[in-house]
Amino acid sequence: MIRNILLTIEYDGTDFSGWQIQPSDRTVQGEIGRVLKVICGTDVKVNGTSRTDAGVHALGQQASFEADLKGLPPEKLAYVMNNLLAPDVKIREAKVCPPEFHARFSAVGKKYIYKIMNCASRVVFRRNFYYFCERPLDAEKMREAAGKLVGNHDFRSFMAMGSTPQETTVRELYSYDVEWRDLPEMGENAREITLTVTGNGFLYNMVRIMTGTLVEVGLGRIRPEEIPEILEAKDRSRAGHTAPPQGLYLAKVYYSEDQLYGK
């Protein structure tokens, strides 16, 4: 019996060349496909919501596939897959969806988290999970600038050069929160700054370019009031640098109830 299954996936992107399957590199899609082939006895095409880059992590990537589980009850699939998967990927949930559901095309929004460690000296244990900024960042200013990115805008200035041309570069951001906490054990003024952004869609490298721009705001190189001009310019060179992949986490994908459970 062919079923349409939706997986919720957590992974540490450090040792992967990103999500998308590649002939010779280790990828998350490749690793999940390998395990599904063991279970289903045949090649399975796994459709991920987001093609995360090398080094980018996921707390809640989503992927769907159609396959015959060969008698394995779907409620046992996550457990069985986790026993076969490498330790840097974990299936958090597996559930049966209506036949027309597709993890990517059905998605109505996404949430990304970006973690910054703002302290004078690096911590070797966190190097793969944070963007380390050694100079002090003004997080209040970053919060002010993030607020100016929320809404319906043309985000062309925040799309990587050389991206595949898009039908439209207009996207809507629903929220962009900047929160911080002191880390006294890591020295005076050490802080963890967490950026959380939700929107209906994101252009290639958009979250990392927005993060790099907010870091430059935090450093005083860009003023929050310049954000509307940067958006208006529709010019990548006006925005800040591209923040590194290791601070980025795909946190959640949003679907409508109708899509997940059928009408």
Q: Which residues are catalytic?
A: 53
Q: Is residue 121 at the binding interface for a second copy, with CB under 8 A as the rule?
A: yes
Among 249, 261, 16, CA closest to 116: 249
CB of 18 to a second copy, least distance (A): 16
Look up residue 123 and give its two tokens: 């911590």
C-beta contacts of 254-258 below 8 A and 24+ residues apart: 254/107, 254/108, 254/109, 254/110, 254/111, 254/198, 255/101, 255/106, 255/107, 255/108, 256/106, 256/108
Residue 2 or 125: which CB sits closer to a second copy?
Answer: 125
Among 66, 88, 154, 172, interactor with a second copy by CB under 8 A: 88
Among 122, 135, 223, 241, binds a second copy (CB under 8 A): 122
Which one of 33, 60, 96, 129 is in contact with a second copy (CB under 8 A)? 129
Determine if 91 is a binding residue for a second copy (CB under 8 A): no
Contact 192, 116 (CB under 8 A): yes
By CB under 8 A, which span of 5-13, 46-54, 106-114, 137-145 interacts with a second copy?
A: 5-13
DSSP 27-79: -HHHHHHHHHHHHHSS----EES--PPTT-EEEEEEEEEEEE-TT--HHHHHH
Give least dist CB 234 to a second copy, A. 36
Note whether 192 binds a second copy by CB under 8 A: no
Rounded CA gap, 105 and 48, in Å? 10
**Given the complex with a second copy, which of 121 and 168 has the nearer CB atom?**
121
Distance CA 120, CA 113 (A): 23
| 124 lines the binding site for a second copy (CB under 8 A) | yes
Q: Taking CB under 8 A as the rule, does residue 90 contact a second copy? A: yes
Number of residues that bind a second copy (CB under 8 A): 15
CB-based contacts of 167, cutoff 8 Å, min separation 6: none
Answer yes or no whether residue 26 interacts with a second copy by CB under 8 A. no
Answer yes or no whether residue 11 interacts with a second copy by CB under 8 A.
yes
- Residue 249 bridge partners (DSSP): 57, 113
Q: What mask, x for binding a second copy by CB under 8 A, covers residues 47 to 86?
A: ----------x-----------------------------
Instruction: Give whole-number Cα distances, 215 to 8, 19, 98, 241, in Å.
Output: 31, 26, 42, 9
Site residues for a second copy per CB under 8 A? 10-12, 57, 87-90, 121-125, 127, 129
